[in-house]
Chain A
Amino acid sequence: MSSHLEKCARSLLVCEKSSFMNEASRHETHVCKHSFNYKISVLIPECGVLPADIANVISHFKSYFLVRDLPVYKFLDAKFLDTVKKGGFYALSYKTRIDEDNVVALLSSGHLVLSLDKDTYQQLGLEGKPSEYKHRKDMRYVVTVDLTDKSLVPGTKRFQQVLLSLKERVPLKSDFLLTRCPPGAEEDGELQALLSQHTYEECRPTVISRSLTDIPRPSLHPSDLRGNAHSCTPVQFLEWLGSVNLNIRCNNSASSFLSTYVCPEPCATVNKVLLCTVTGFIPPEDVYALLQELRRCLAEPGFTDWVSLTVHGFADSPVSWGAAEHGFLKGGENFYNLVCFKNQDYWLHMATGSQDGCPP
């Protein structure tokens, strides 16, 4: 009995150190493969107001759409399919839980991912594979349909089969969050036209900025990722980031009854810290644009020596990075954090909970 009581769920944290200037740097891949982003927060030390250039990039983040009761087979409509094939299309079923319900996601690659409970899977009749995160028996299956596949055009046998499954056998439908980041020029109102037959609302990402004063902050040195001498450890740094976000006091004494949390060493007190958070259904393209702008700002003289960008994924998304399966045991968390330094070095922290693959 006691063995269960002291065990705790697995968590993974992968840290990378590299430079944006390094040709082999995979920062763009990492950002772009994390499809479903719920919240991003930018932390800039020694800064009181959000620089106009950054605010401008954020104000150009794409709108997203909340569609009610969208049948999944609609993605196979000729018009939808055309749009999906152009790329940059993101969709995620809304208010569905990955450990209880059927969850549907459409990745920008055109892959439609269905994470289904056993009953639905058996009725659907599309081939899939059992979920990697199971207990005793397979209770959840993942079906992936590549909508860009050449054999999947109206008229083919495969197309008919998929349509029959999704339309007749199990008419799956759900509320969806949709957004689109077309690679080329945007055709105005394309998504709206697709959604015209459904009830939907257009939403803007919510932006909140606040300025904090006189708080201790840990010192970071770009070459010391592990926190051996000049920096704190990655785990300590992430804890501090969280404490700033949550307004947690960190000037406690060791004998305090309530809390003994203190800012990790080595640390210094800064005058002000700017914290800006954006919440919504944010496509990775927008995250990348923000990252590029932060890098540009860092290069300007007089700007702080590091900034941090944290990106949280949807807890109930069926995928985390790329098409890697994502589960939910207790927390379902998946997020990454980028610390960018003045010399174009960066640290990347990627964390996943107990039911996730290792980050790429």
Chain B
Amino acid sequence: MSVFMDLNILAITDKKKLQSTIETAAHLGYSTVAINYVVEPQQKKQQIPKPESVTELFEKFPIVQGKSRPIKVLNRLTVVATDASHFRPSNEYKSFDILAVYPKTEKLFHAACMTYDVDIICIAVTEKQPFHCKRSPVNGAIERGVSFEISYTAAIRDSTMKKYTIANAINLTEVCKGKNVILTSGAEVPIELRGPYDIANLGLVFGLSEGDAKAAVSTNCRAVVLHGETRATALGIIHTMKRMQPTGQEQEEESPAAKKAKVVKV
């Protein structure tokens, strides 16, 4: 097993509150969290946000409970896609460590599983998933190392959403056989966070086995972070191939990747 992670702490403008949520996550035993910026291109041409520099979040990062090291904070972008035009890989995506897509239609779900260069595909928790998670796209995503996310905060807030969350989660885990599932909070305030062992137990309600449930808050999250890193360093591979005729553009591409490597290193 690897360290515990919560890869979905909702990015809010109130910095104090965000800090307090991250402090609580550290106190509950999470070693890594991701601040999640959500963009809904459908709504009035929303701009892709610029993530706050993680290093400026704290003067001194909170220490993970029971350990001697500080919590690691990553940035994540979630694109809510209702139309194929919404997911457009661009340089703006590259300023995030983790990239997620929340497909709202079956067609987009299929595309996300089979072709989108993302780390996470979000499963609906605030409504009944309006389409079936079919076996072939799900398997395609698993083969490509893309993970499915179920976040639990909606289930804590509201009893109807509790039903949606559980139903959608069971439908997913039945198809993916417990593989490549991550469980995250999606919390806005500290009180919505739960401990990693609590969530590993909740995973059983979602139809995961004990081992799969614990992996969903640890090992599988680690795989997501690594997937995010390789997505970033894939630029490096392009770089070596192009070496024959260097252009000015590559240098620009190289720097964010190098920077990322630095952030990722513990």
Residues on A close to B: CB < 8 A? 1, 4-5, 7, 9, 94-97, 99-101, 117, 135-137, 139-140, 174-175, 329-330
A4 touches B208 (CB 8 A): yes
Whole-angstrom distance between the alpha carbons of A9 and B67 in the complex?
26
Which residues of the other chain, B, contact A4 by a CB distance below 8 angstroms? 204, 207-210
Partner of B215, one of A7, A96, A135, A329: A135
Nearest first, the 4 A-B pairs at minimum CB distance are: A135-B211, A4-B204, A100-B3, A99-B1
A136 touches B218 (CB 8 A): no
Give the residue name and chain of the B residue nearest to A119 (CB): B2
Given contacts A101-B67, A135-B215, A139-B1, list 7 more A-B pairs with CB under 8 A.
Answer: A4-B208, A5-B204, A95-B67, A100-B31, A117-B2, A135-B211, A135-B219
Whole-angstrom distance between the alpha carbons of A174 and B215 in the complex?
25
Interface residues in B55-89 by Cβ distance below 8 A to A read 66-68
A9 touches B1 (CB 8 A): no
Asked if B214 is at the interface of the complex by the 8 Å CB criterion, the answer is: yes
Whole-angstrom distance between the alpha carbons of A117 and B4 in the complex?
13
B205 touches A139 (CB 8 A): no
- Of B1, B212, B219, most buried by chain A (CB within 10 Å of CB) is B1
B211 touches A1 (CB 8 A): no
Whole-angstrom distance between the alpha carbons of A135 and B219 in the complex?
10
Partner of B210, one of A7, A97, A99: A7
Residues on B close to A: CB < 8 A? 1-4, 31, 66-68, 170, 197, 201, 204-205, 207-212, 214-215, 218-219
Whole-angstrom distance between the alpha carbons of A146 and B78 in the complex?
50
Which residues of the other chain, A, contact B214 by a CB distance below 8 angstroms? 99, 135, 329
> Given contacts A100-B1, A100-B2, is CB(A139)–CB(B219) below 8 Å?
yes
Which residues of the other chain, A, contact B211 by a CB distance below 8 angstroms? 135-136
Smallest distance from the beta carbon of B1 to chain A beta carbons, Å? 5
B1 touches A135 (CB 8 A): yes
Give the residue name and chain of the B residue nearest to A9 (CB): B210
B209 touches A97 (CB 8 A): no
Whole-angstrom distance between the alpha carbons of A135 and B3 in the complex?
14
Whole-angstrom distance between the alpha carbons of A91 and B26 in the complex?
27
Give the residue name and chain of the B residue nearest to A174 (CB): B68
Which residues of the other chain, B, contact A96 by a CB distance below 8 angstroms? 67
B66 touches A97 (CB 8 A): yes
Smallest distance from the beta carbon of B123 to chain A beta carbons, Å? 16
Whole-angstrom distance between the alpha carbons of A135 and B201 in the complex?
16
